[in-house]
A and B are shown apart, each in its own frame.
Chain A
Amino acid sequence: MLEGYLPVLMFIVVGLLVGSVAIMAGFVLGRRRPDPAKLSPYECGFEAFEDSRTKFDVRYYLVAILFIIFDLEIAFLFPWAVALHRIGVFGLAAMGLFLTILVVGFVYEWKRGALEWE
Chain B
Amino acid sequence: MTFELFIFYLFAAVLVFAALRVVTVRNPVHAVLFLVLAFFSSAALWLLLEAEFLALVLVLVYVGAVMVLFLFVVMMLDINVAVLREGFTRYLPVGLLVGLAIVAEMGLVLVRYFVLPPGSAPKPVGPDFSNTRMLGDLLYTHYVYPFEIAAAILLVAIVAAIALTLRRRPGTKHQDPAAQIAVRRRDRVRLVRMDAEKKPE
* Contacts from A to B (Cβ < 8 Å): 1-5, 9, 53-56, 58-62, 64-69, 71-76, 78-84, 86-87, 90-91, 94-95, 97-99, 101-102, 104-106, 108-109, 112-114, 116-118
Contact = CB atoms under 8 A, between A and B. Distances in A.
Given A101-B155, A112-B166, 9 more contacts: A59-B165, A60-B76, A68-B66, A79-B135, A79-B136, A79-B139, A80-B139, A94-B140, A108-B159
Given A1-B125, A68-B66, A118 B50 contact: no
Interface stretch (B93-101, B144-152, B185-193): B144-152
B127 to A, nearest CB: 6
B62 to A, nearest CB: 9
B73 interface: yes
A1 B52 contact: yes
Contacts of A61: 69, 72-73, 165
Contacts of B57: 75, 78
Contacts of B148: 94, 97-98, 101
Interface of B: 4, 7, 44, 47-48, 50, 52-53, 57, 60-61, 64-66, 68-69, 72-73, 75-78, 124-127, 129-130, 132-133, 135-137, 139-141, 144, 147-148, 150-152, 154-155, 157-159, 161-162, 165-169, 172-174
B124 A108 contact: no
A64 to B, nearest CB: 4
Nearest to B128: A1
B151 to A, nearest CB: 4
Contacts of A83: 132-133, 135-137, 140
B44 to A, nearest CB: 8
B166 A90 contact: no
A97 B144 CA distance: 10
Contacts of B127: 1, 3-4
A97 B148 CA distance: 7
A105 B77 CA distance: 27
A101 B159 CA distance: 12
A62 B161 contact: yes
Contact of A109 (B64, B139, B147, B162): B162
Nearest to B77: A55
